[in-house]
Amino acid sequence: MQADEDLRARLIRVGGELIERGGPSAASLREIARSAGVSHGAPRRYFPTHLELLSAIARDGFTHLTAQVSAALVEAPGDPRARLATLARVYLDFAAAHRGRYELMFRHDLLESGHLGLRDVSLPLFQLLTDLVARIRPEPEPPARVVAGALWASLHGIAQLWYWGSLPLATGATDPAALLDATLTAHLGRTA
Amino acid sequence: MQADEDLRARLIRVGGELIERGGPSAASLREIARSAGVSHGAPRRYFPTHLELLSAIARDGFTHLTAQVSAALVEAPGDPRARLATLARVYLDFAAAHRGRYELMFRHDLLESGHLGLRDVSLPLFQLLTDLVARIRPEPEPPARVVAGALWASLHGIAQLWYWGSLPLATGATDPAALLDATLTAHLGRTA
DNA sequence: AGGGTTGGTAGACACTGTCTACGTGCGGCC
DNA sequence: GGCCGCACGTAGACAGTGTCTACCAACCCT
């Protein structure tokens, strides 16, 4: 079964690289197969459908994102507020550094297909966020889940609108740090 | 030049309808042409490229969204805080009612192509938002532009993550009103 | 040693977006 | 009033795509 893992993993890796270079549209099934050095029918052994291969690549992206956030939190300060700021910064950095992959990770047709396994890939990260929020804001209202959801939506919105040009145009700013700071302050109070 | 307007407008309308029914992927150039009753080469007279036709459909969506928000604000109360809540609610309602079109409106390849005319389509709405924020929060820090940007990002994030399944899954809630309320309260203070 | 399964190839099919050559019918002009 | 020209649309070709099917080769297992 090692051979299976080989081509399967190679397809995911090569597909990810293609997306990094040319965006999601560069990752056609046949192009991925060509870049991996196999015929266009080969991927079908592992991914019955193009969408499932893309879902695997997206899942890989979530794994990397979660790992990157976790790694950054290991050497982050103990203050929950500062840790949450670290989480947010790493999240936005990831979106900036891997725009194509980030876009893929939130494509609605992937999400709706069910192949992505949304629950498994996104809940760990959301749990990190919720825990930090709960430690920062001990008040019961609004519940930490809601605040964490609002923060996540903000992060996602900033990532998309900023790096795709809408927010720089509208706010006239040059980097999203001010937006992020305003968001965190609004939801969690001014930093200590 | 009336004939021009006819087919041109029909393509935009028919394309929009296809997207409402089957999502952006249902709006292939040839399918739009078929639905409009013309040959597959006809759209080229008006839109040199599929992407430019899609951009026109997206622009149409922004026009509708702006009109819907403006109409709602006409009969909204005079209190700026309540007016902003109305704006946000109409925005989310639009995204929910026209998911395919909303997705199209924020497709990165459209935004990056320049055919969308992002400045023209999005600034009017952002200006409404900024004005309301400035009236609600007279303090200079953070500037109204930044708060408005953060709010817009939140709206966009809630619209995407909610209606695509991520946020309901993570927060366990059944509608996005709580998230919206938490966001507005955080940025603008508790409602009067 | 031989047979079945696993992992990959190769070709067909319908469909897509773009390009090009071709009609066709209307309006203006001498 | 006849003719030209052009705007508008048709039709076919081309490369590329995702999926499906038939084939093939190498390997494992008993």
Q: What is the CA radius of gyration of chain A?
A: 19
- Check residues B57 and B113 and name the one with the higher pLDDT: B57
Q: What percent of chain B has pLDDT over 90?
A: 76
Using the beta-carbon criterion (under 8 Å), do A170 and B150 form an inter-chain contact?
Answer: no
For residue B78, is pLDDT > 80? yes
Does one domain contain both B77 and B25? no
In whole angstroms, how far apart are CA B179 and each of A152, B53, B92, B168?
A: 11, 35, 11, 10
> Which of chain D's bases lie under 7 Å from a protein CB?
7-13, 16-22
Determine whether the interchain pair B171/A157 forms a contact, defined as Cβ–Cβ distance below 8 Å: no
pLDDT in tens, A13-33: 999 999 999 999 999 999 999
A50 touches chain B (CB under 8 A): no
Please check whether residues B134 and B177 belong to one and the same domain: yes
Place of tokens 């695509």: B164
**Residues A152, A81 within the same domain:** yes
- Same-domain status, B110 and B181: yes
Task: Check pLDDT > 90 for residue A3.
Answer: no
Residues of chain A with pLDDT > 90, as a percent, come to 76
Judgement on whether residues B106 and B178 belong to the same structural domain of the protein: yes
Asked whether strand C has any atom less than 7 Å from the CB of A48, the reply is no
What pLDDT shows up at residue B14? 97
Comparing B12 with B137, the larger pLDDT belongs to B12
- Spatial contact of B148 and B133, defined as CB atoms under 8 Å apart: yes
User: Is residue A84 over pLDDT 60?
Assistant: yes
Confidence of residue A115 (pLDDT cuts 50, 70, 90): confident
Q: What is the pLDDT of residues B15-41, one digit of tens each?
A: 999 999 999 999 999 999 999 999 999
Asked whether the beta carbons of B55 and B113 are under 8 A apart, the reply is: yes
- Average pLDDT on B66-77 reads 94
Q: Are residues A98 and A163 in the same domain?
A: yes
What is the number of H-type helices and E-type strands within chain B? 10, 0
Q: Per the CB < 8 Å rule, is A108 touching B103?
A: yes
Report d(CA A32, CA A8) in Å as an integer. 11
Residues B73 and B130 in one domain: yes
Q: pLDDT tens digits, residue range B168-184? A: 888 888 899 999 999 99
Predicted confidence band of residue B3 (pLDDT cuts 50, 70, 90): very low
Three-state SS at B7: helix
Let me know: does A7 contact A46? Beta carbons within 8 Å.
yes
pLDDT band at A2 (very low <50, low <70, confident <90, very high): very low
CATH number assigned to the domain comprising residue B148: 1.10.357.10
Cβ neighbours for B131, distance < 8 A, ≥ 6 positions apart: none
Q: Does A91 touch chain B (CB under 8 A)?
A: no
Instruction: Specify the CATH number for the domain of residue A18.
Output: 1.10.10
pLDDT of A122 higher than 80: yes
Number of cross-chain residue pairs from A and B with Cβ atoms under 8 Å apart: 157
- CA angle, corner B90, sides to B86 and B91, nearest 5? 115
Residue that wins the pLDDT comparison between A163 and B157: B157
Query: How many CB atoms are located within 10 Å of the residue B12 CB?
Result: 21
pLDDT at B6 over 70: yes
Q: How many domains does chain B have?
A: 2
| Contact between A170 and B122 using a beta-carbon 8 Å cutoff | yes
Domain end residue (candidates: B9, B29, B48): B48
* Same domain assignment for residues B30 and B74: no
B40 beta carbon to strand C: under 7 Å: yes
Q: How confident is the model at residue A5 (pLDDT cuts 50, 70, 90)?
A: low
The pLDDT value recorded for residue A1 is: 38
What pLDDT shows up at residue B1? 37
B111 and B88, same domain (yes or no): yes
Do B82 and B122 sit in the same domain of this protein?
A: yes
Task: Tell me: do A41 and A88 sit in the same domain.
Answer: no
* Residue of B103, B129, B154, B188 best to disrupt the A interface, most CBs of A under 10 A: B154
Least confident of A39-48, A133-142, B94-103, B145-154: A133-142
| Cβ–Cβ gap B154/A157 under 8 Å | yes
Does B182 lie in the same domain as B129? yes
Domain range spanning residue B159? 50-188
Label residue A166 by pLDDT band (50, 70, 90).
Answer: confident
* Interface check B145 vs A, CB under 8 A: yes
